């Protein structure tokens, strides 16, 4: 599938700054930035929003990574799964746990808490959401209320990202392949 919107937006000053940042940070310009750059207000708001989301620290980063990737897998956003694998691999999340996200029900790679987090992310990402009271209560008891609110909001954020990227036809940019290529030969 090809993108449903041009990946060559007008070269505004803001977009040129985003090009520089994205190339420096990710080694390439990420397609969601290219699509958002067609609307400067959306691009600017998205940047501010993502910077704010990045400052949330009540939820363990590994749990957050698994929740976000489970949400992306449930929605079916190949771009988000690809980028999420690369980003979380760089931050030290066990590659097996990341690879097994799409098949987490059958995988033995995840702890019971991780499985609850992934079940919650999956249930929230269905249409309509199918979140059960018992699961929420287990997570609230284990994580605390602040982390549960952050988890819930992160899954909502990823639903927005995944649904936007999927609707615009964005697919993998090969980030995961770079992780696999960077692996030391003795592994």
pLDDT tens, residue by residue, 122-151: 999 999 999 999 999 999 999 999 999 999
For the chain, residues with pLDDT lower than 70 are 1, 180-187
Q: What is the pLDDT of residue 181?
A: 54
Give Cα separations from 94 to 62, 87, 110, 125, 184 (angstroms): 9, 12, 10, 23, 15
If we measure between CA atoms, which residue out of 120, 119, 111, 118 comes closest to residue 69? 118
Q: Is 170 left (phi over 0), alpha (psi -120 to 50) or beta?
A: beta
Nearest to 150 by CA among 87, 64, 65: 64
Task: Supply the pLDDT for residue 170.
Answer: 97
**CATH code reported for the domain at 61-167:** 1.20.1290.10
Q: How many helices (H) and strands (E) does the chain have?
A: 10, 0
Question: CA 73, 9, 88: angle at the middle one, nearest 5?
Answer: 30
Give span(s): CATH 1.20.1290.10, the chain: 61-167
């Amino acid at each position: 599938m090809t993108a449903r919107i041009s990946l060559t937006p007008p070269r505004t000053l803001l977009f040129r700054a985003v090009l520089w940042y994205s190339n420096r940070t990710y080694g390439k310009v990420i397609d969601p930035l290219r699509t958002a750059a067609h609307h400067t207000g959306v691009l600017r708001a998205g940047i501010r929003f993502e910077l704010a989301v990045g400052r949330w620290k009540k939820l363990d980063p590994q749990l957050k990574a698994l929740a976000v990737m489970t949400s992306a897998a449930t929605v079916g956003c190949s771009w988000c799964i690809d980028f999420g694998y690369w980003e979380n691999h760089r931050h030290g999340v066990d590659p097996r746990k990341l690879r097994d996200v799409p098949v987490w029900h059958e995988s033995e790679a995840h702890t019971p808490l991780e499985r609850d987090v992934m079940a919650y992310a999956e249930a929230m990402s269905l249409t309509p959401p199918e979140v059960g009271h018992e699961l929420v209560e287990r997570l609230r008891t284990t994580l605390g209320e602040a982390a549960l609110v952050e988890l819930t909001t992160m899954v909502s954020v990823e639903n927005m990202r995944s649904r936007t990227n999927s609707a615009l036809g964005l697919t993998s940019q090969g980030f995961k392949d770079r992780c696999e290529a960077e692996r030391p030969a003795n592994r």
